[in-house]
Amino acid sequence: MRARILHLGPEVMVLDKPAGLPVSARGGESLEAWLPALRLGKKRDPQPAHRLDQDTAGCLVLGRTAPMLARINGLFADRRVAKTYWAVVRGGPAAEAGVIDAPLLKVSSAAKGWRMVVDAKGDPARTAWRVLGRGDGITLLEMAPETGRTHQLRVHCAHLGCPILGDAMYGGGAGQLHLLARAIALPLEPALRVEAPVPGHMRAAVARCGM
């Protein structure tokens, strides 16, 4: 995990979280088990300042001190953190850019378990997007969520008519989820912007889209 450190400062660390690794413990392996190895001279473990879905790869910010963790938590709460994602989707939108404004509601059933759906009774959710490239039957989207709802990008892509590759829950088919937390920018002093590399399972599809 140390080899996946993208940024290391006195108070902030940014990791390239691998796809398939949950941030919180759920009975199996998780990022929590690696935190002691990421102290790197500090007396306490670094702590994640936000969450990424288990199957999403890329930038994850950790606070290395309690004051900085609280500060970053505040930045996320105030929506002052700029998050950029890359998603390879099936098909693609007709337009080159746009904004998805579709509220999300959590629903569950005995047959399908829980999932998020677009519903007027749900929480507000907005995502700006633009096309970075198109391939044979797929498109690479850059997405900037203005809100941070559970499964927001996955549901919004499906709502746009082009689910993310590997997102079986929302129509993207089998395989690994092609969603990357590509970059993150925090208004600290000095300002911090970190970018994650494209993970191995996404490289072929990203290349097909000309990137």
* CATH at residue 104: 3.30.2350.10
pLDDT value for 24: 85
CA dist 7 and 24 (Å) reads 21
Provide CB contacts within 8 A for 73, sequence distance 6+.
49, 63
User: In the annotation, is 53 catalytic?
Assistant: yes
CA dist 199 and 196 (Å) reads 9
pLDDT value for 27: 63
> Which of 16, 53, 55, 167 is flagged as catalytic?
53
pLDDT value for 109: 86
| Sign of the alpha-carbon torsion through 23, 24, 28, 33 | positive
Please give the chain's pLDDT, 211 residues, in tens: 999 999 999 999 999 999 999 998 766 789 999 999 999 999 999 999 999 999 999 999 999 999 999 999 999 999 999 999 999 999 999 999 999 999 999 999 888 889 999 999 999 999 999 999 999 999 999 999 999 999 999 999 999 999 999 999 999 999 999 999 999 999 999 999 999 999 999 999 999 999 9
Domain holding 144, by residue range, is 2-208
CA dist 15 and 17 (Å) reads 6
- From 135, 127, 111, 107, select the one nearest 209 (Cα to Cα): 135
Tokens of 83: 């998050």
Domain count, the chain: 1
